[in-house]
Amino acid sequence: MHQFIAGLPKAELHVHLEGTLEPEHCLALAQRNGISLEHKTPESLIRSYDFCDLSSFLKVYYSGIRVLVTEQDFFELAFRYFQRAASDGVVYVEVFFDPQAHTMRGIPFDVIIQGIHRAQCEARTALGLESNLIMCFLRDQSAESASEHLTMSMPFNDWIVGVGLDSDEKNNPPSKFAKVFSDARDQGYQLTMHCDVNQVNTLDHIRECLDLIKVDRIDHGLNCLEDDQLCSALVERGIGLTICPVSNRFVVQSLTSDAIRSLLQKGVKVTVNSDDPAYFRAYINENLMALIDEGGFTKEDIKRLMTNAFEIAWLPGRLKAKYL
């Protein structure tokens, strides 16, 4: 099974670039940029990756982000992730980045995106890995800040395929960002939003995603299983869910394999992804192996999940056809 998973050409659609910051790299960047960290060794950092919910995770995630300062830092972060992904058999990836988490520390938008874009170009030529970039807005920041970042992104709109919404979901519903997502759509961006598992009012959030924002995808979103009408709407509109089993195990103490199986049976286009692989200590292959080892998934199930990923990828049809 390991060989089958490793050899399968894969697409990953839900991975936060800042969540791929490995502890060794985090420590090296802290030293290079003169930033002091509470933890001084990789082992000590890893011991601190002990999350019980979304907010305990986000605290650690934002603390790690502070070491990213220069264009070269963003290049290295992205290129190292692309190297790992390519060696895991990923052939296409859509990566999220969180510009507000950097601009609020005084890092210019163009420093962030130039570094990431340079890594994407190098990944294509040196690794044969195709990638696209999704700009996420932090939902615990204001809608005005999101709008300002949408404007900042416009000179680089050829480098960005879509926008997403992440961070702390409590009291930050999709409707808060209706205007900026509508503007993003007008600018030609695809739309997705996180509806993290078991959040307060999660069903309302999923409904708003579908009926108000009119998203193209939902990140997580597996609570839709609690409402047959929601599941039918997802199937009818071909809206995919990007699910992250090991992330769920950390954040909601469940691998969610039963939910993934039910969604597959209903014909919802579910996919499997790593979310924040450096923090959850599991890249895409480990996520797939967890479903096999603990959820009893078969090769056929895994192939279906991976076909779904290529089908809902934000790629032009002629490029998609290469993979399907």
Q: Which residues bind Zn ion (CB under 5 A)?
A: 275
Q: Provide the mask over 31-70, with x wherever binding to ligand ES4 is found by CB under 6 A and - wherever it is not.
A: -----------------------x--x---x---------
The answer to the question of whether 25 is labelled as a binding residue is no
Q: Which is nearer to ligand ES4, 257 or 301 (CB)?
A: 257
Q: How far apart are CA 31 and CA 131, in angstroms?
A: 30
CB atoms within 10 A of CB 284: 29
Q: How far apart are CA 189 and CA 209, in angstroms?
A: 15
CB atoms within 10 A of CB 322: 12
Q: How far apart are CA 205 and CA 222, in angstroms?
A: 12
Q: Is 69 helix (H, G, I), strand (E, B) or coil?
A: coil
The answer to the question of whether 220 is labelled as a binding residue is no
Interacting positions 289-318 with ligand ES4 (CB under 6 A): none
Question: Are the C-beta atoms of 32 and 292 separated by less than 8 Å?
Answer: no
The answer to the question of whether 194 is labelled as a binding residue is yes
Interacting positions 155-194 with ligand ES4 (CB under 6 A): 166-167, 194
Q: How far apart are CA 76 and CA 136, in angstroms?
A: 20
User: 12, 130, 196, 301: which one contacts ligand ES4 (CB under 6 A)?
Assistant: 196
Is residue 242 within the footprint of ligand ES4 (CB under 6 A)?
no
DSSP E strands in the chain: the ranges are 10-16, 90-97, 130-138, 162-166, 190-195, 217-220, 240-243, 270-272
Is residue 247 within the footprint of ligand ES4 (CB under 6 A)?
yes
Q: Which does 208 bind (CB under 5 to 8 A by kind): ligand ES4, Zn ion, none?
A: none
Q: Which is nearer to ligand ES4, 84 or 304 (CB)?
A: 84
Q: Which is nearer to ligand ES4, 112 or 251 (CB)?
A: 251
Binding site for ligand ES4 (CB under 6 A): 16, 19, 54, 57, 61, 166-167, 194, 196, 247, 251, 275-276
